[in-house]
Amino acid sequence: MTMPRQDADRAFRGLENSDASVRLRAAMAVGTSPDAAFIDKLIERCAVEPEFFVRDMLTWALTRHPASPTVPKLIDELRSERAQARSQALHTLSKIGDRRAWPAITHGLLRDADDEVARSAWRTAVVLVPEGEEPELAAVLATQLGRGGRETQLSLSRALIALGEVVSPVLRAAMTDPDRRVRTHAIATERLLRDPDAGFEFAIEEAKRVVALGTTGQEG
């Protein structure tokens, strides 16, 4: 049901309000009464919104609109110079789940210099990857092993594990990488693949011991 003009004008203004709670309510109102006239504004706001909980509501509002006009505009946003615009567009595409967006998840995004963009790209790629292309995606994701801090590494491990057993060959190969960080991350990810309940911190610490001993943990 389209929002009455007066309410729509109020929501447009609300999305720009200095009070985060007002912006949140405005985004909720737009999502409750979707109108294609709001799509551009919601996407524009995603790129600059400082509050996580408001961004999440903006994404929810976008998912309430038809995919046919929304997805192409989000794909356009992936070329933005603003990291938050790329990251939030990816996040929203993962929530919409329309596989027509898959070709837009480029190797460049999967290797984006900004950790938040890359993490969003990994999560989105796992959601959208077509059947049969998982091994190729696993190979690209494996090039990012050892990257960043714990949160970034945990995001990558989760993305790889979500692909299932197809990641085993690339993890085994990475276990012999010259880079100690890559070897450690690969071993920890393989541990979690075999035992999802192990916990990332435990897996990393165990992997560090394995690397220090000069083994890969594959013997036996």
Question: Does residue 38 lie in a domain region?
Answer: no
Please count the structural domains in the chain: 1
Between 191 and 217, residue with greater pLDDT: 191
Per the prediction, the chain carries an average pLDDT of 93
What pLDDT score was predicted for residue 195? 87
Question: Does residue 127 lie in a domain region?
Answer: no
Residue 47, token pair as written in the block:
């790129």
Residues 104-157 have pLDDT tens digits of 999 999 999 999 999 999 999 999 999 999 999 999 999 999 999 999 999 999
220 pLDDT band (50/70/90 cuts)?
A: very low
What pLDDT score was predicted for residue 50? 97
What pLDDT score was predicted for residue 161? 96
Within 10 angstroms of residue 165's Cβ, the number of other Cβ atoms is 9
Q: Is the pLDDT of residue 95 over 50?
A: yes
Residues 206-217 have pLDDT tens digits of 888 888 887 654
Rounded to whole angstroms, the Cα distance separating 59 from 53 reads: 10
What pLDDT score was predicted for residue 2? 64
Residues 159-181 have pLDDT tens digits of 999 999 999 999 999 999 999 99
HEC string of the chain? CCCCHHHHHHHHHHCCCCCHHHHHHHHHHHHHCCCHHHHHHHHHHHCCCCCHHHHHHHHHHHHCCCHHHHHHHHHHHCCCCCHHHHHHHHHHHHHHCCHHHHHHCCHHHHCCCCHHHHHHHHHHHHHHCCCCCHHHHHHHHHCCCCCCCHHHHHHHHHHHHHCHHHHHHHHHHHCCCCCHHHHHHHHHHHHHHHCCCCCHHHHHHHHHHHHHHCCCCCCC
Q: Is the pLDDT of residue 191 over 50?
A: yes
Per the structure, the complete domain to which residue 191 belongs is given by 133-215
Question: Does residue 40 lie in a domain region?
Answer: no
Question: Does residue 106 lie in a domain region?
Answer: no
Question: Does residue 183 lie in a domain region?
Answer: yes
Question: Does residue 139 lie in a domain region?
Answer: yes
User: What is the C-alpha radius of gyration for the chain, rounded to an integer number of angstroms?
Assistant: 20
What residues contact residue 180 under an 8 Å CB cut-off, 6+ apart? 211
Residues 28-72 have pLDDT tens digits of 999 999 999 999 999 999 999 999 999 999 999 999 999 999 999
**Nearest CA to 164 among 142, 138, 125?**
138
Question: Does residue 170 lie in a domain region?
Answer: yes
CA 138 to chain centre: 15
Rounded to whole angstroms, the Cα distance separating 65 from 150 reads: 35
What pLDDT score was predicted for residue 40? 96
